[in-house]
Amino acid sequence: MWQALYQELGPHGLQIVTVALDTGGVEAVRSWIEAAQPQHPSLIDQAHVVDELFGITNVPSGIWIDEQGTIVRPPETAYPARPNYQEREIPPDASAREIAEIGEVKKLRTEAEKYVFALRDWVAHGATSRFVLTSEEVRRRSRPRSREEARAAAHFELGQHLHRLCHPEHAIRHFREAYHRHPDNWTYKRQAWELLGPDQNPLEVYGGDWLSDVRKIGAENYYPPLEME
């Protein structure tokens, strides 16, 4: 979907850079990038530096940066089109859990049309686009971390480091701290779940998984509404 948008808007000055946030690195991400066959830069952030620096807590998130290197829209939900998974039919042999997960996914708020409309307007009008934010508004939306969120970030980094050193049992302890200190950070949760072994259940290890955590907050709150006005 990003490749299609790049083909449309690239000739008019838009440069798209996609970044995969995955401690698993190349082996975890290669198949997705090769399937997309991007003609734009497609990077792998194995250390989660991008979400650390910009405050990304869920994916996909988009950040607008102008020609001068200034952020004119901080991280927000960024879907270039309605995702195919929201149109997924329930297979006849689906388990009860699969049925429940598909049902929750269909409730997610993605707002692709609103996002792409704003992006096209920015490409057409540049700094005069009504969707370009003032520096004051960018700062307002880029709120500083709380003490607990800062501690969560430190635990998440330690967890990644220990995982790379092949100490998964110690990594889990720090991922669990990050998970509970910053429960709204789905990037932490998703990465912790994905690094578990095949016989490990996220519910047992972390006290939650995607389905149970989404149900707690309501699928409609998984992505915050876009502030485009």
Q: What is the mean pLDDT of residues 12-18?
A: 97
pLDDT grade for 130, boundaries at 50, 70 and 90: very high
Tell me: do 108 and 157 sit in the same domain: no
pLDDT grade for 144, boundaries at 50, 70 and 90: confident
Q: Chain-wide mean pLDDT for the chain? A: 95
pLDDT tens readout for residues 105-122: 999 999 999 999 999 999
Q: Looking at the domain assignment, is residue 227 inside a domain?
A: no
Percent of the chain with pLDDT over 90: 95
Tell me: do 24 and 130 sit in the same domain: yes
Output b/e per residue, 190-212; b: 16+ Cβ within 10 A. Answer: ebbbebbeeeeebeebbebbbbe
| Among candidate residues 88, 121, 141, the one where a domain is terminated | 141
Q: What is the mean pLDDT of residues 205-217?
A: 96
Tell me: do 155 and 80 sit in the same domain: no
Tell me: do 164 and 135 sit in the same domain: no
User: What SS3 class is residue 208?
Assistant: coil
User: What SS3 class is residue 80?
Assistant: coil
Question: What is the span of the domain harbouring residue 206?
Answer: 147-221
Tell me: do 126 and 155 sit in the same domain: no
Q: What is the mean pLDDT of residues 37-53?
A: 95
pLDDT at site 121: 98
Tell me: do 29 and 112 sit in the same domain: yes
pLDDT tens readout for residues 152-167: 999 999 999 999 999 9
CA distances from 215 to 118, 126, 139, 208, 218 (A): 30, 40, 31, 11, 5
Give the domain CATH number at 105: 3.40.30
Tell me: do 31 and 80 sit in the same domain: yes
Burial class (CB in 10 A: 0-12, 13-18, 19+), 64: buried
Q: What is the mean pLDDT of residues 194-215?
A: 95
User: From CA 145, how far away is CA 152, in angstroms rounded?
Assistant: 10
Tell me: do 60 and 155 sit in the same domain: no
Q: Looking at the domain assignment, is residue 229 inside a domain?
A: no
| Among candidate residues 141, 167, 191, the one where a domain is terminated | 141
Q: Looking at the domain assignment, is residue 33 inside a domain?
A: yes
Tell me: do 55 and 103 sit in the same domain: yes
Q: What is the mean pLDDT of residues 31-43?
A: 94
Q: Looking at the domain assignment, is residue 105 inside a domain?
A: yes
Q: Looking at the domain assignment, is residue 21 inside a domain?
A: yes
pLDDT of residue 143 exceeding 90? no
Tell me: do 68 and 29 sit in the same domain: yes
Q: What is the mean pLDDT of residues 53-61?
A: 96
pLDDT at site 146: 95
Q: What is the mean pLDDT of residues 134-141?
A: 96
pLDDT of residue 72 exceeding 80? yes
pLDDT at site 85: 87
Q: What is the mean pLDDT of residues 195-218?
A: 95
Q: Looking at the domain assignment, is residue 118 inside a domain?
A: yes
pLDDT of residue 229 exceeding 80? no
User: From CA 62, how far away is CA 16, in angstroms rounded?
Assistant: 10
Q: Looking at the domain assignment, is residue 228 inside a domain?
A: no
Tell me: do 92 and 169 sit in the same domain: no
Domain count, the chain: 2
| Among candidate residues 83, 109, 141, the one where a domain is terminated | 141
Tell me: do 39 and 107 sit in the same domain: yes
Q: Looking at the domain assignment, is residue 226 inside a domain?
A: no
